[in-house]
Amino acid sequence: MLSLQFIREHTDVVRKSLADRQTASGDAAIDEILRLDERRRALLAEVEALRAEQNAAGKQIGAAKDPVERQRLIDAMKSVSTRVDDLTPILGAIEGTLDGLVMEIPNIPDAATPYGKSEDANRVAKQHGEEYTDAWRKPHYVLGEALDIIDFERGVRLSGSRFYVLKGAGARLQRALIAFMLELHIDKHGYREMYLPAMVKEETMWHSGQLPKFRDNLYHDAEEDFWFVPTAEVPLTNMHGGEILEPGTLPLHYVAYTPCFRREKMSAGRDVRGIKRGHQFDKVEMYKFCEPERSADELEAMLEDALNVCRALDLRYRVIEICTGDLGFNAARTYDVEVWSSGLGEWLEVSSVSNCGEFQARRANIRFRREPGGKPEFPHTLNGSGLALPRTMIAVMENYQREDGSIDVPDVLLPFMGGIARIGADR
């Protein structure tokens, strides 16, 4: 979130941010925030002055020996007490409203984020390999059913639309990808592996910025305060919630594999075919906490870490630089990574690598000290997929398919496949 002080003192920057993000009601929201903030501070001054009076009187009353004098002082404070009781709920209500409004203001785009009105203005920053296909190439959902490694029908039987079952070598292929990605990030890229809760409390969703904006996209338990994570970014952000990290702690590089759950209400009817967009999917997520001045470099490094997965799998990829109009709520700067799938004949987003600046750290109240006794500062946080499994599966299946309908297993996955080098050939 943004600090009230920042909104107050850099109102023009915030207004520009909202305009660049194509937020229609941005100005009205800022006006309301400024108005409430002014009222809040006026009321706060009054309440605090009264409290100071109470505190001072409290000491006198405590010290008063003469019962008559004592009673006189107590009676005198009753009106002050009443006034405080009157004002406090008003102040509380204003702070509540204000807090709610500020929570809905998105992060300020980084200066490096290009301006653009919508995703059409995103530009390809880097591309490795050209689009290609062949007449005989099939989409993964055809391959998957023919090889009996993806079962859509049974997924629907169990859970409804947007669910599927991976079977045999299909399930194993995904597990191999997960293991390969994790080990690459741990052993070669220096991340520390985390096994995380897939359900978190509501508060945690606010801290990482999923709430209130994306309430419609989240699943939660009807009876208890359990919310299903839509990405490991949520628990990872909160790993150090409320902490002040000691000098020498940063940077922290974490990697976690989790299932992710999304309602996908926004994309009803889109991408319904195949495994491209399900309510449940797996993802390996990278996450960093670092000093503010290092986050730009850390972002580039994280992008490379994601691309290294694509390279190791010999996938054709491109990097999309997200423009202001398409930037996510929490992000100041984002690269998307897409890989080419030769069966569907499209680029698939397998990763989104973002620098959130101090936006999430402020929400989750994560701070660090540069030196012992130093002033606490907010670290920057970064997150990136490394990678999302279903789309990586699609690309691998479609790009490694042979004309006879079998699928070669990429070399780097062989150690995890228990001797299966080709799916469908020796079944």
Partner RNA sequence: GGAGGGGUCGCAUAGUGGCCGAGUGCGGGCGCCUGCUAAGCGCUUAUCCCGAGCUAAUCGGGAUCGAGGGUUCGAAUCCCUCCCCCUCCGCCA
**Cα(33)–Cα(27) distance, rounded to whole angstroms?**
10
What minimum distance in Å lies between the beta carbon of 221 and RNA? 13
**Cα(236)–Cα(283) distance, rounded to whole angstroms?**
13
Instruction: Tell me which residues in 258-297 interact with RNA (CB under 7 A).
Output: none
What minimum distance in Å lies between the beta carbon of 13 and RNA? 12
**Cα(395)–Cα(302) distance, rounded to whole angstroms?**
21
Half-sphere exposure of 17 (CA within 13 A, CB side): 25
| Sole window of 112-120, 261-269, 366-374, 408-416 interacting with RNA (rule: CB under 7 A) | 366-374
Question: Of 362, 361, 356, whose CA–CA distance to 383 is shortest?
Answer: 356
Question: Of 224, 168, 202, whose CA–CA distance to 418 is shortest?
Answer: 168
Comparing CB distances to RNA, the nearer of 46 and 183 is: 46
| Sole window of 4-12, 98-106, 266-274, 419-427 interacting with RNA (rule: CB under 7 A) | 4-12
**Cα(83)–Cα(269) distance, rounded to whole angstroms?**
57
Instruction: Tell me which residues in 54-113 interact with RNA (CB under 7 A).
Output: 54-59, 61-63, 70, 74, 77-78, 80-81, 84, 92
What minimum distance in Å lies between the beta carbon of 178 and RNA? 20
What minimum distance in Å lies between the beta carbon of 260 and RNA? 20
Instruction: Tell me which residues in 302-331 interact with RNA (CB under 7 A).
Output: none
Are 284 and 254 in contact by the 8 Å Cβ rule? The answer is no
Task: Please state whether beta strands 333-341 and 346-355 pair in parallel, antiparallel, or not at all (unpaired).
Answer: antiparallel
Comparing CB distances to RNA, the nearer of 4 and 121 is: 4
**Cα(370)–Cα(249) distance, rounded to whole angstroms?**
9
What minimum distance in Å lies between the beta carbon of 122 and RNA? 34
- With H, G, I as helix, E, B as strand and everything else as coil, classify residue 368: strand
Comparing CB distances to RNA, the nearer of 17 and 334 is: 17
- How is residue 299 written in tokens? 């972002």
Instruction: Tell me which residues in 196-255 interact with RNA (CB under 7 A).
Output: 244
What minimum distance in Å lies between the beta carbon of 368 and RNA? 11
Instruction: Give the number of residues in contact with RNA, rule: CB under 7 A.
Output: 34
Count of other CB atoms within 10 angstroms of residue 234: 27
Residues that bind RNA (CB under 7 A): 3-5, 9, 41, 44-45, 48-49, 51-52, 54-59, 61-63, 70, 74, 77-78, 80-81, 84, 92, 244, 367, 372-373, 375-376
